[in-house]
Amino acid sequence: MQGLLEMQSTFLIRILLACVCGIVIGVERQKRTKSAGVRTHLMIAIASALMMIVSKYGFLDIVGGTPGISVDVSRVAAGIITGLGIFGGVIYMGKRGNATGVTTIAGVWVTVGLGMACGAGMYLLAIETTVIVLCFQFILHSNLWIARHNTKYQVVFRLKDGMKEYEEIEKKMLEYKVEFWRVKWECKGNGEIELSCIAELNVRTNPSEVTAALLEMPQLVKIETL
């Protein structure tokens, strides 16, 4: 009886530690207004820790009490990853079918790993991994240029002199290291041409300066950040 209580206490400690790791990462994600926050990471950590414990210890009565029977304890743990794939797909597809939340899925995946580590009794590994994840999240969300994505604008111009005005606009944007792609030309009558394109900024370029330069152009009709 005492041995059973000690084992159950150990299991409880593992689940509680998984909770702490999940909450810590969830808080960081929620502060950045991500789709998966504290509650999601907490529940995932608890579930993965619980399933890992069941995978390791849930079949001891069968294996120990029945001669000739062996159980592959890794199968339940492998099923956790399969379930994560389905869950990740739900996060990945946005409300309008847009692909979003890749980093959130990666964070959920890490949380699953943390829960599994806690469930397996690898406490120190779980704590070290939580610290590493948080450190990299804070570093890569800082203003380091290496961690920034290229800013992209959807811009629309109304041109009266076609290629000549376009070349002037392109030359001006090259001063800010801005490149145009997916350029679309459309005749609007009265000799005017509507030009729509994607303007991609260099990671070292200040988006505010580019926005100000675009707004000064009389040909500009629309600008939208992508």
| DSSP letters spanning 66-116 | STT----THHHHHHHHHHHHHHHHHHHB-TTS-B--HHHHHHHHHHHHHHH
**Whether 51 and 99 share a structural domain:** yes
Domain for residue 128, yes or no?
yes
Strand 220-225 relative to strand 192-201: parallel, antiparallel, unpaired?
unpaired
**Whether 167 and 208 share a structural domain:** yes
Q: How confident is the model at residue 2 (pLDDT cuts 50, 70, 90)?
A: low
Strand 192-201 relative to strand 152-159: parallel, antiparallel, unpaired?
antiparallel
Q: In sequence order, what are the beta bridge partners of 193?
A: 159, 187
Domain for residue 147, yes or no?
no
**Whether 88 and 157 share a structural domain:** no
**Whether 13 and 113 share a structural domain:** yes
Tell me which of 117, 142, 167 is where a domain ends.
Answer: 142
**Whether 130 and 181 share a structural domain:** no
Q: What is the pLDDT of residues 14-69, one digit of tens each?
A: 888 888 888 888 887 777 666 667 777 887 788 778 778 877 776 666 665 556 66
Domain that holds residue 84: 2-142
Question: How many C-beta neighbours within 10 Å does residue 51 have?
Answer: 20
List b or e across 165-176, with b for residues whose CB sees 16 or more CB atoms inside 10 angstroms.
bbeebbeebeeb
Q: What is the pLDDT of residue 187?
A: 85
Q: What is the pLDDT of residue 92?
A: 58
Q: Which two tokens stand for residue 19?
A: 């909770």
Q: What is the pLDDT of residue 96?
A: 47
**Whether 86 and 192 share a structural domain:** no
**Whether 112 and 157 share a structural domain:** no
Question: How many C-beta neighbours within 10 Å does residue 113 have?
Answer: 20
Q: How confident is the model at residue 110 (pLDDT cuts 50, 70, 90)?
A: confident
Tell me which of 142, 169, 198 is where a domain ends.
Answer: 142
Q: What is the pLDDT of residues 121-162, one digit of tens each?
A: 778 888 888 888 788 777 766 666 555 667 788 899 988 887
Q: What is the pLDDT of residues 159-184, one digit of tens each?
A: 888 788 888 888 888 888 888 888 88
Name the residue among 216, 207, 217 with its Cα closest to residue 158. 217
How many domains does the structure of the chain reveal?
A: 2
Between CA 127 and CA 121 the distance in angstroms is 12
**Whether 40 and 75 share a structural domain:** yes
Tell me which of 112, 142, 172 is where a domain ends.
Answer: 142
- Secondary structure (3-state) at 6: helix
Q: What is the pLDDT of residue 121?
A: 78
